[in-house]
Amino acid sequence: MDAKAASTSGVPTSVPFNDVVKSYVALTKPRIIELLLLTTVPIMFLAQQGVPSGWLVAATVVGGTLSAGSANALNCVVDADIDQLMRRTARRPLPRHQVGSLGALVFGLLLGVVSTVWLWTLVNPLSSMLALAANVFYVVGYTMILKRRTTQNIVWGGAAGCFPALIGWTAVTNELAWAPVVMFMVVFFWTPPHFWALAMRYREDYAAASVPMLPSVTTSAEVAKQIVVYSWVMFGTSLLLWPIAPTGWFYPAVAITLGIVFLIEAYDLKSRALDTEDLAVIKPMRLFHFSNAYLALLFVAAAVDPFLR
C-alpha cells in the first residue's frame, strides 16, 4: 500500500509508528509552544515575587503545552488547503499526507479537552478557562474568521498568543491584576512587528494562497512604517510594568536597553525598505530573529527582578 494512503481513522497506514508519532507532534508546532512557555513561566515568578511551587510550574507548563498544541493542530486542519501552497508550510504533516485530516482533527480536539480538564483540576478553573479562551480565539477568531479576510488579521488574531501572560499569573494568584495585563499588551504590540517581518520574507507565499497578510498586499516601505509604529507602542507599554508591578531597577534597565535595540532594528529595516523591494537588501529576518530574543529576555528580566531588590 502507498505510504501516503490513509486509513478510515485518518492515520496513514503503512508508516512506521515512530514516524506517525513525530508527525502528530509536528502538528502541535513545538517551536511556537516554546515561545509561549517563555511568556508563561517568568510571569509565575513575578506573580510569586520569588520561586513558585515546582509542582505548580510543571502542571501549568504541561497544561499550557497541551492547550497550545491543540490550537496549533486545529489550525493545521483548517489551513491544510493553503499550507500546501506555501513554501514555509508545505512540509507540515497534512500537506505531506503524513497525517489524515480526521486524525488531526480528533487529535487537536482531544488535546483541548485534556488540557482544559488538566488545568481545571491541577491548577485552577480561571487558568483553565483562559487557556480555553485562547484556544478558541486562535482557531475560530484568527484562523477561521480573520486570517483570510483582513490585512489586520495578525494584529487582532495575535491576541491569542498573549494569553500565556495571564495564565501564568492566575496559576499563582488565582486572580487577574494589572501587571499581567501590561505584559499581555506587550505581546499584543510585539506580534505585528514580529510576524510582519517573517511575512515579508514569505510574502509571495501569502499572495499565492490569497491570504491578505499585510506584506503581500502593500509595499515593504509601508509595512516597515507600521512596524516602527508598533515597535514604539510596544516599547512604551513594556515600561508600564515598572510602576504597576512594581519592579526594582533591573527590569526597567533591561526593558529600556532591549527596546532601544528593537527600535534601531525597526528603523534600519524601514530605511532599507524605503530604498528597495529586494528582500536580500531589506533583510526582514534580522528583525524577526531579534524579536524572539527580545521577548524572551524581557520576560526573563521580569522573573529575575524580584530577586535583585
Q: Which residue has the cell 487577574?
A: 176
Cα 282 to Cα 302: distance, rounded to the nearest angstrom: 32
**What per-residue confidence (pLDDT) applies to 207?**
93
* Longest alpha-carbon distance in the chain: 65
Residue 290 structural domain: 177-309
**What per-residue confidence (pLDDT) applies to 2?**
39
How confident is the model over 285-302, as pLDDT tens digits?
999 999 999 999 999 999
All three cell numbers of 245, joined, read 508591578
- Residues of the chain whose pLDDT is less than 50? 1-12
**What per-residue confidence (pLDDT) applies to 17?**
79
Examine the domain organization and report whether 132 and 219 are in the same domain: no
Examine the domain organization and report whether 232 and 197 are in the same domain: yes
The tally of domains found in the chain comes to: 2
Last-in-domain residue among 139, 174, 209: 174
**What per-residue confidence (pLDDT) applies to 206?**
93
Examine the domain organization and report whether 56 and 117 are in the same domain: yes
Q: Phi-psi region for residue 210, left (φ > 0), alpha (ψ -120 to 50) or beta?
A: left
Burial (Cβ within 10 Å: 0-12, 13-18, ≥19) of residue 292: middle
HSE-up of 58 (CA within 13 Å, CB side)? Answer: 3
Confidence (pTM): 0.92
Cα 303 to Cα 59: distance, rounded to the nearest angstrom: 18
Examine the domain organization and report whether 154 and 208 are in the same domain: no
Cα 111 to Cα 113: distance, rounded to the nearest angstrom: 6
Last-in-domain residue among 174, 206, 232: 174
Residue 14 burial (CB count, 10 A): 10
Cβ atoms of residues 198 and 71 within 8 Å: no
**What per-residue confidence (pLDDT) applies to 50?**
94
Examine the domain organization and report whether 300 and 193 are in the same domain: yes
CATH of the domain at 49: 1.10.357
Examine the domain organization and report whether 57 and 117 are in the same domain: yes
**What per-residue confidence (pLDDT) applies to 5?**
43
Examine the domain organization and report whether 221 and 292 are in the same domain: yes
Cα 164 to Cα 37: distance, rounded to the nearest angstrom: 7
Examine the domain organization and report whether 147 and 113 are in the same domain: yes
**What per-residue confidence (pLDDT) applies to 58?**
97
Q: What is the full DSSP assignment across 275-290?
A: H---HHHH-HHHHHHH
Q: Which residue has the cell 509604529?
A: 229
Q: What is the CA radius of gyration of the chain?
A: 20
How confident is the model over 55-114, as pLDDT tens digits?
999 999 999 999 999 999 999 999 999 999 998 899 999 999 999 999 999 999 999 999
Examine the domain organization and report whether 215 and 149 are in the same domain: no
**What per-residue confidence (pLDDT) applies to 14?**
62
Cα 247 to Cα 258: distance, rounded to the nearest angstrom: 17
Examine the domain organization and report whether 139 and 28 are in the same domain: yes
Examine the domain organization and report whether 161 and 211 are in the same domain: no
